């Protein structure tokens, strides 16, 4: 069975989110919660339990990812949202435009998640700082 290209699934997710009434998203007082690469590194060094969700395609994840991260490609998120815990501190990251990570955040909020943060500057910001990667 052939799967739709990742870009097609991503476009479908973004169109679905954009088609919802504004009230279905969130109250304006609930901005996207973000966290810096420095904060994540500090928390990992302190052995704080973070749930890192890598939204990049599997090939990118296989080349290197943040320590302990789970792979849930953005294109698969609608079908795999149940794999994202509703408790604990969850950090989403990608190497995609910020709007795509924000759309994933909003999708999860619409599913009832209230524990999501987005990594500022995403995966490229982590790499730029020379922080460790797992393969």
Section 98-115 average pLDDT: 94
pLDDT of 1 > 60? The answer is: no
- Ordered by where they begin, the domains of the chain are 6-18+32-128 (3.40.250.10)
CA dihedral 123, 125, 127, 130 (to 10 degrees): -150
Contact 38, 27 (CB under 8 A): no
Distance of CA 73 to the CA centre of its chain: 9
pLDDT of 2 > 90? The answer is: no
Q: Tell me, what's the pLDDT at 129?
A: 98
Question: 3-state DSSP call for residue 60?
Answer: helix
Give the tens place of pLDDT for each residue, 24-65. Answer: 333 333 578 999 999 999 999 999 999 999 999 999 999 999
Pairing mode of beta strands 70-71, 89-93: unpaired
pLDDT of 87 > 70? The answer is: yes
Section 113-117 average pLDDT: 96
Q: Tell me, what's the pLDDT at 69?
A: 98
């Amino acid at each position: 069975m052939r799967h739709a290209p990742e870009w097609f699934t991503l476009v479908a997710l973004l169109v679905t989110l954009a088609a919802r009434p504004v009230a279905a998203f969130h109250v304006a007082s609930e901005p996207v919660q973000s966290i810096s690469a420095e904060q994540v590194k500090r928390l990992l060094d302190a052995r704080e339990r973070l749930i890192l969700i890598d939204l990049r395609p599997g090939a990118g994840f296989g080349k290197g990812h943040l320590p302990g991260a789970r792979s849930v490609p953005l294109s698969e998120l609608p079908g795999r949202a149940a794999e994202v815990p509703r408790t604990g501190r969850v950090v989403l990251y990608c190497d995609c435009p910020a709007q795509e990570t924000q759309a994933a955040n909003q999708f999860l909020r619409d599913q009832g998640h209230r524990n999501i943060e987005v990594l500022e500057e995403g995966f490229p910001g982590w790499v730029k700082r020379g922080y460790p990667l797992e393969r």
